[in-house]
Amino acid sequence: MLSKGKYRGDKVAIALIYPNQPSVGMANLGFQTLYQRLNSRRDVVCERVFLEIPEYGGTRVSPPSRSLPRSQESGTPLGDFDILAFSIPFENDFVNILTLLSQSGLPLESSQRMPSHPLVIAGGMTSFINPEPIAPFIDAFLIGEGETLIENFLDTYLENREAIGKRDFTALPGVPGVYVPRFYQIDYNQDGLISSRYAVPPAPDRVQKQTEKDIDGIITFYTFPKEASEFSDMAIIEVNRGCPRGCRFCAAGYLCLPFRNRSMESLLNFLKKTRPKEKTIGLLGTGVSDHPDLIPLSREILSLGYRISFSSLRIDRITDDLADILKKGGQKTVTMAPEAGSQRLRDLIRKDITEEQILSAVDTLIRRDILNLKLYFMIGLPGETMDDIHEILALIRKIRHTILTHRHETRRLGRITVTISPYVPKPATPFQWFPLMDLNEIKKRLSWLKKALSKEPNVHVLADLPKWTYIQALLSRGDRRAATLLRRVHENGGNWPRSLKESPLNPDFFAYRPHDTGEILPW
Ligand code: SF4
């Protein structure tokens, strides 16, 4: 166990916490690369902590256990670290932060912590999107990409260690990208809208999200531990960040801008130098298929003797050349995201792909015996009607028809897995002004589509539960007042229906209210 001061000397002891099950955190590239990066500093010792309760997909299914959370490496309890650093990719994990703090005997609210308590910081995608619903629980957020940001933060922490230890945070807002909620005063109108939001000196009016200008100099690479059985034979390398496409619904596309590519030369140099022992190299990025050298890069990786896998591919990028690479690379299943069934709705969300391109991509893959398709669709998009849902069914039938026309060549049918996700209008996207579609309407559309697709042979349907869509909407669109609801959910052992009923806060105010372009937004 890392005991205070005894083994770690003057090093800063950081608990890097993923507030979900170990199997989920172990497969998260951002979490694992941050862990490696922190431990590469001579003045830091970093250990990982996960939530040890049965869960499914970030959603709690049983009350938390009462056991003391400890780090994986040395079994150190959270209270013995200097810094607790939460990495939070999904809003549905917010309540798990409270579970971990409470199980550790630490005060939940930042304002209640004493000099003897660790500093609690948070980062990850949810901090980019909207940190406000958890602002009262966090001492400081790191907004943006982690590499330079965490280095600058730690340098400032070390220079001001004594003052910060006494909970004097005045040095922290000076670090670009660091948001200290206690330095921001929020006031509300009678109607519940934010009337003013002002920064208390020394905090800046707006905290600027930090991005790495030159990602070529920092290769992000990760191999999975044995426990991640699904991926244990794969090494992941990030090829780009951001996406040039600008689909109107996509938070990742907007929040990770600008679009930046790692050069083929530096990626290959890294792979040749390190020679990963895994059989497959997985190429990861928000816009993998828009990498300017994707084809030559993939061919080089194949020539090094690896199989190859892509995190996602734009449908309009599935050319003969790319399909040949997929085939040679051993890819048996390809994931495609038409997102909407009708051309009208695909144009409205600016997906920028046509039905001809979708069917042509399917044809190109089937000709190479790549028979399994994973298709992603959303329901509840702004402007969607029941006709658009009917068109999802029609499109899937056309895809099946394309597959069947090759049956005499392939002699077998692959599987079409259709994943349907209810859409949540996310902050910082052009659709942020729209409300969540009424949950009953989402349920009606989802149930019609599931029933219709259940009659289609070789089509398997997966769908997110609409209940979690509502919670995700209120947590991604909520302001600081949503923290009171999170606290209640925590006190009720994760029981959302009971907490929503008991809460004086109207959750529909966040989930169902269209935002006026003139109002002050929480994010
Ligand atoms: S292409 Fe994909 S990653 Fe890029 S903006 Fe569209 S949905 Fe997002």
Buried b or exposed e, range 445-459, using 16+ CB within 10 angstroms = bbeebeebbeeeeeb
Ligand 1 probe mutation, 125, 240, 243, 429, most atoms within 8 A of CB: 243
Atom of ligand 1 nearest to the CA of 252: 8
pLDDT reported for residue 233 = 87
Question: For the ranges 29-33, 121-125, 243-247, which has the lowest average pLDDT?
Answer: 29-33
ipTM for the whole complex: 0.99
Ligand 1 probe mutation, 238, 247, 431, most atoms within 8 A of CB: 247
pLDDT reported for residue 229 = 57
Q: 181 C-alpha to center of ligand 1: Å?
A: 31
Mean pLDDT throughout 499-512? Answer: 94
Lookup: tokens for 291: 């990498």
Question: For the ranges 37-46, 128-137, 410-419, 433-442, which has the lowest average pLDDT?
Answer: 410-419
Which pLDDT band holds residue 60 (cuts at 50, 70, 90)? very low
Atom of ligand 1 nearest to the CA of 339: 7
Mean pLDDT throughout 242-255? Answer: 93
Which residue puts its alpha carbon closest to atom 8 of ligand 1?
253
- Establish whether residue 286 lines the binding site of ligand 1, counting it when its CB lies within 6 angstroms of any ligand atom: yes
Lookup: tokens for 39: 């431990």
Mean pLDDT throughout 183-191? Answer: 95
- Residue from 84, 111, 76, 63 nearest 15 by CA: 84
- C-alpha distances (whole Å) from 148 to each of 125, 238, 262, 419 are 16, 17, 17, 36
The answer to whether residue 208 scores a pLDDT higher than 90 is: yes
The answer to whether residue 262 scores a pLDDT higher than 80 is: yes
Mean pLDDT throughout 415-428? Answer: 95
The answer to whether residue 63 scores a pLDDT higher than 50 is: no
Residue in the structure block whose two tokens are 């996310």: 426
Ligand 1 probe mutation, 286, 316, 317, most atoms within 8 A of CB: 286
Mean pLDDT throughout 442-455? Answer: 97
- Strand 59-60 vs strand 178-179: parallel, antiparallel, or unpaired? unpaired
Q: Hey, what CATH class is 213-312 in?
A: alpha beta
pLDDT reported for residue 312 = 80
Q: 290 C-alpha to center of ligand 1: Å?
A: 10
Numbered ranges of CATH 3.40.50 in the chain: 12-199
pLDDT reported for residue 413 = 73
**CA distance linking residue 46 with residue 74, whole number of Å:** 10
Q: How many CB atoms lie within 10 A of CB 415?
A: 12
Give the residue with greater pLDDT, 217 vs 203: 203
**CA distance linking residue 162 with residue 136, whole number of Å:** 23
Q: Hey, what CATH class is 12-199 in?
A: alpha beta
Q: How many CB atoms lie within 10 A of CB 345?
A: 22
Q: What percent of the chain has pLDDT over 90?
A: 80
Numbered ranges of CATH 3.30.750.210 in the chain: 213-312
Provide CB contacts within 8 A for 281, sequence distance 6+.
234, 235, 236, 237, 271, 301, 306, 307, 308, 309
The answer to whether residue 3 scores a pLDDT higher than 90 is: no
- Residue from 59, 50, 47, 208 nearest 141 by CA: 208
